[in-house]
Chains A and B, each alone.
Chain A
Amino acid sequence: MEEQKISVWGSVRFWRNTAVWVTGFAVLLLIWLSLDTIPQISAGTIEDLENGVTKRVPSAAVINYEIGYELDNKRKTEIPIIGGKQMFFGRNDYSEEEATELVSHGKMTVQSKNCMNCHTLLGNGAYYAPDLTKSWLDPAWSETGPYRPMTGKATTEEAMAEFLQHPNKYPTHARMMPDLGITPDEAIAVVAFLKHMSSIDTNGFPRNFNKIKGAVNAK
């Protein structure tokens, strides 16, 4: 029998073992990382909010509070700032359970109405309509923005809820939002979901949100 040459690089067995090792270990690392990440992105509690404990994903009761989005000197990115109490549909005393149910109802509605196949949520979805990650904080819906007077409502939440129920009445662009049969309850829940989403720490995405007014049009 002739002498076989020694060739590790040309050995199927060596590469099979390598593949098994690399794959198996990468899977283990991913599981380890996921076990580390999931607790970090689980929702905080109403006590965290009251005691000023920062959470990546705050409790749904954050709808009782004012939310900002400011540059953080330590992290060098913009982060959500949870401020003082703020009225949301005339209340600022939503309990943890109540708020969680409301935001969950909103999320279910967002899923049922297929929002993600036109809009993006946390930057994921379709690109046919604006990103909703920080829509709660968008100047277009603020006191000075065009959408509030359009709907004739006094607050951001009421203006958003009105728009969601009757998008046909308020054409904001040639690309109109279709009427999806959103009920008044669902509209309130969706706005709660959007407000909560704007309080999630997204490592600074979107960058410079609402800070630059467009160099072309700058005064």
Chain B
Amino acid sequence: MIEAFTDVVPSFFGTLNRGPMTLTIFLHTVIILPMFFLYYSEKKKQKQGDHED
């Protein structure tokens, strides 16, 4: 499942690229995870009556 490193130059991204879609999953996760934080902090603000805009 984990493939041998084949690219010309070893690098962090090249290493992540060895597993099945691991590089993409990593990148998408780091982008999407903080959105949970944004969601809950918005919910908290609205509960406190801060309705913005």
Contact = CB atoms under 8 A, between A and B. Distances in A.
User: Do chains A and B make direct contact within the complex (CB under 8 angstroms)?
Assistant: yes
A4 B49 CA distance: 8
B51 A4 contact: yes
A124 to B, nearest CB: 21
Given A6-B46, A13-B52, A17-B42, A56 B8 contact: yes
Contacts of B6: 74-75
Interface residues of B, number: 23
A11 interface: yes
Interface string A23-58: 001100100010010011000000000000011100
Given A4-B51, A18-B35, A36-B13, A29 B27 contact: yes
A182 B38 CA distance: 60
Interface residues of A, number: 25
Interface in B37-53: 38-39, 42-43, 45-47, 49, 51-53
Interface of B: 4, 6, 8-9, 11-13, 27, 30-31, 34-35, 38-39, 42-43, 45-47, 49, 51-53
